[in-house]
Amino acid sequence: MSLGFRKSMFGFHRDDVVQYIETLQKNALAEKKDLEAQLDAFSQKIHSLELERDALLSVRDALQSEVEQYTAKYDEIQKLSEGVGRLYLVAQSNAQAVFKNVQESARISDAAVSENLGAIEQAQDTLSELKASLDSLSAQFMQNVDSLKEKLENAKTEIAERRVDSEKTLDSFSQLVQKVAKE
């Protein structure tokens, strides 16, 4: 199993062995640099996904605030409806003319309630779609994070194995050089 070393009087030519070891070292460093570049790329991707998640959370919070506003408006409309009902009873007992005015107010209130209920239903539909989207993005984000963790662990393991192989090769050469030097 000759690696192309020239023979010399006391074994192999020292410059050939040194050159071979330096080539191994350069290859290992280049591979380490490539793996570190991949690690940096994965870190940037994780950061990008975290920013995207934060943006989606902000949108969700804004929509929740909007739903709270619609809920407050709905409660206000409900209170107005109750007030209109009381006015209707008072108007009925007082006079027919007042009764007609109350009927008109009730009609206007019902139109406003219907309009606001439509807006609330639309907001609920939008929230449901947003929730589904957030759930999907969250699941995809978790899959990406798990995949990145696995790739990083594989890269770490591969670097450790290559380091051990490098050390074994250096030990073998050292032993070979010592053996040849003894002979």
Give 1-26 pLDDT, tens digit per residue. Answer: 346 667 767 677 888 888 999 999 99
47-67: average pLDDT: 95
Instruction: Find out whether 102 and 91 touch, Cβ atoms under 8 Å.
Output: yes
Q: Is residue 52 scored above 60 in pLDDT?
A: yes
State the virtual CA torsion across 125, 127, 133, 139 in degrees, nearest 10.
Answer: -130
Share of the chain above pLDDT 90, in %: 37
Residue 167, in any domain of the structure: no
Q: Is residue 62 scored above 60 in pLDDT?
A: yes
pTM, whole model, 2 decimals?
Answer: 0.32
Count of CB atoms within 10 A of residue 163's CB? 12
Report pLDDT for 4: 67
Residue 181, in any domain of the structure: no
Q: Total structural domains in the chain?
A: 1
Residue 6, in any domain of the structure: no
- HEC profile of 124-154: HHHHHHHHHHHHHHHHHHHHHHHHHHHHHHH
Q: Is residue 39 scored above 80 in pLDDT?
A: yes
Residue 43, in any domain of the structure: yes
Residue 121, in any domain of the structure: yes
Residue 2, in any domain of the structure: no
Q: Is residue 156 scored above 80 in pLDDT?
A: yes
Q: Which domain holds residue 51?
A: 12-155
Report pLDDT for 3: 63
Residue 123, in any domain of the structure: yes
Q: Is residue 35 scored above 90 in pLDDT?
A: yes
Which range in 2-16, 51-65, 72-86, 149-163 is most confidently predicted, on average pLDDT?
A: 51-65
Residue 172, in any domain of the structure: no
Confidence of residue 83 (pLDDT cuts 50, 70, 90): confident
* CATH code of 21's domain: 1.10.287
Per-residue model confidence as pLDDT tens digits over 99-145: 677 788 888 888 888 888 888 888 889 988 888 888 888 889 899 98
Alpha-carbon distance 2 to 16, whole Å?
A: 12
Task: Please name every residue paired with 8 in a beta bridge, in sequence order, or none if there are none.
Answer: 11
Report pLDDT for 1: 39
